[in-house]
Structure 1
Amino acid sequence: MTSPVNSPEPQRPTEPPAAALFDALVTAHATVYGYGIVSARSTPEDNYLVAKAIGAHREHREALLDMLARRSVDPPLVAAGYQLPMAVDGPIDAANLAVRMENDAAVAWRAVVEQTDDHDERAYAVSALTQCAVNAAFWKQTLKIWPVTTAFPGGTE
């Protein structure tokens, strides 16, 4: 996952459901940032994938802000910058970063599914987790990686 650079450390809640939502928002902030890099390094043919994915992660970010507000939890702020987990020098690197970010987002959403006690949050998290898995599959197709899917996205099984 991309990580913040020179950002004040947010106060992460201790309650597991709120902590999972908080962590998912941290991941969403980083993913939106990372897709800016992916966009700059992708081929024009892959721009539709970038647009689709960044739009989804922005929507997820807004939903997470609402979920945290309903729990009276102050959300983490967007960092001024993020350290990428790899160098991104061209279209292949960009697609690999996209796969990595989608997998990281899937991990965060799976934690929400596992930790939340709210039916609506869980339903949203399942949908977001599925969307991350589908986005990763499209990027893997671009990279010609097989298999393009995993049995249980966001997990290690």
Structure 2
Amino acid sequence: MEISSKKGNKDADDAIIKEKNEKIKSFLDKYIEFLSVNLQAEFNRITCSPLDQLKTNEIGSKIKDIIEEHIARVLFLIEREESSISVVKEYFSTNLQNYYSRISGDDNAKKALQEIFEMNLLHDFGQIVDRLCNFEVEIIDFFLKYLIVLNIHRRLSRRGIIPK
């Protein structure tokens, strides 16, 4: 009887951990999508504004605050859930590879990615928009998601949460 209760507890613990990891992945998916949609809107605002109306090539201050706040929430969750670091590491690795493979199918897109790879998503957003404005919306979406995931991954690496 004691053996089966231990096995039952182990199965229950495994199910809880699995559910927790799925919720973390779902949370990350939702936040990355949210950030992407907001950056897409700002991207469209910049590309559709006549130059004399656009006061800056940088990302708008309100949207910048929103993006920073949500990236901070993602970082907070990941730091808080130390037991799930392997899941987070796998999530970022898989998504970076998936977005990169979608982008690298087009030689021009691959070249553009190399040019913007080292840029800061928020502070260099005007330059990113200038480089990506001739691409299709679908490719731009992959670029933005790639840059969001890369930005968060770099921040986690700098904090020592995940290895570089």
Q: Whose helix proportion is higher, 1 or 2?
A: 2
The alignment's TM-score, normalised by the length of structure 2, stands at: 0.30
Q: Of the two, which has the highest radius of gyration?
A: 2
The alignment's TM-score, normalised by the length of structure 1, stands at: 0.31
